[in-house]
Amino acid sequence: MSNSTSEQNAVPVGQLVKVAVVQAAPVAFDRERTLEKVHALADEAARRGAQLALFPEAFVSAYPRGLDFGAVVGSRTEAGREDFRRYWESSVDVPGPAVDQLALAARRNNLYLVLGVVERDRGTLYCSVLFFAPDGSLLGKHRKVMPTGSERLVWGFGDGSTMPVFETPLGRLGAVICWENYLPLMRAAMYAKGIEIYCAPTADARDSWIASMRHIAVEGRCFVLSCNQFNRRSDFPPDYRSIFGEDANAIVCRGGSCIVDPFGNFLAGPNTEGEAILIAELDRAQIVRGKYDLDVVGHYARPDIFQLHVDEQPKQPVTIRKPELAAEEAPQVKSDRRASARSAD
């Protein structure tokens, strides 16, 4: 979305922006039923007046909490390989039919939709966030650059080419996933891009996470939308072999979603009670008021001492030179040689 369009349609400073954080559970490993749930929840958020809705990390279609995928040092089990196959089958091609369904949810509700998916690209899965505009267009994606702990068994690493901040009429919009938020240099990069609506989809339900969301809001003088799943054991298949046992009512993840203003005040949540849609109104003037005494990439920075260099070039493991290019070049080489020979004569 271009700057000029954004400036023409921007919500004036002082006018409130209404946002929603959707704390819910997907239908684990069932992509189609999870997409149906996204539609229903997006519909509800829009009915409540939300202009933007954020869904949790890996919502389509599972954060595989408690699975070990049959891995120990030096060995993988056949059952673990089958767990990975099921996970891969329920994941999302970008672009692809699932993305089209998510675009429809945004378009029919005239809603910015920011949503965590498990993206598949050939044989590798990535923990990604997709951004949709109210017209249903896919603005872009962010791939998690650093999976945490055992996540590295099943998720690949993103690179600097998918760390966007989008100019929107609601404000500058971006996302940092779960423990990426504990990378100080990544936060600095996002602040330098002017992020105003800082989306933090996560799988961390601890009190320390909630404290971090308040810290980031104050540090970046931005609105932080933190979004987690609320799961019970019954939200996973009966054959889900994990550490959580068989009690259908056992809480697997308690949520803790919240919305925080640029001074660290809770506007909604944190909620640890169950599935919920948290709604808050953002006063964008609070960003400017906060920057008055703290702008960590502006007047509060010391670039004479500290500097950060960010590489946003995509990193490809294989670069293939197409044969037809070589064939196109060959006649030119022959022509150059003939011209050189004539010149010598």
Residue type, 242: S
Alpha-carbon 87 to chain mean position:
18
User: Which residues lie closer than 8 Å to 68 by C-beta, 6 or more apart?
Assistant: 80, 150
- The Cα angle at residue 58 between residues 3 and 282, in degrees rounded to 5: 45
Nearest Cα to Cα of residue 62 among 240, 189, 246, 299: 240
Annotated active-site positions, please?
57, 144, 178
Residue 5: count of CB within 10 angstroms of its CB: 12
Ranges of H-type helices in the chain = 3-9, 31-47, 78-89, 97-109, 184-192, 207-220, 285-291, 323-344
Give dist(CA 59, CA 140) in Å, integer. Answer: 17
d(CA 254, CA 190): 28
> Cβ distance 38 to 245 under 8 Å?
no
* Phi, psi angles (nearest 5°) of residue 124: -115, 140
Select from 23, 60, 22, 21 the least CA-distant residue to 229: 23
Cis peptide bond upstream of 169, omega within 30: no
Say how far residue 175 (Cα) sits from the centre of its chain: 5
CA distance 223 to 218: 9
Element (H, E) at 231: strand 230-232
Spatial separation of the C-alpha atoms in residues 128 and 176, rounded to whole Å: 10
Nearest-10 crossing angle of helices 97-109, 31-47: 10
Any idea what DSSP says for residue 258? E
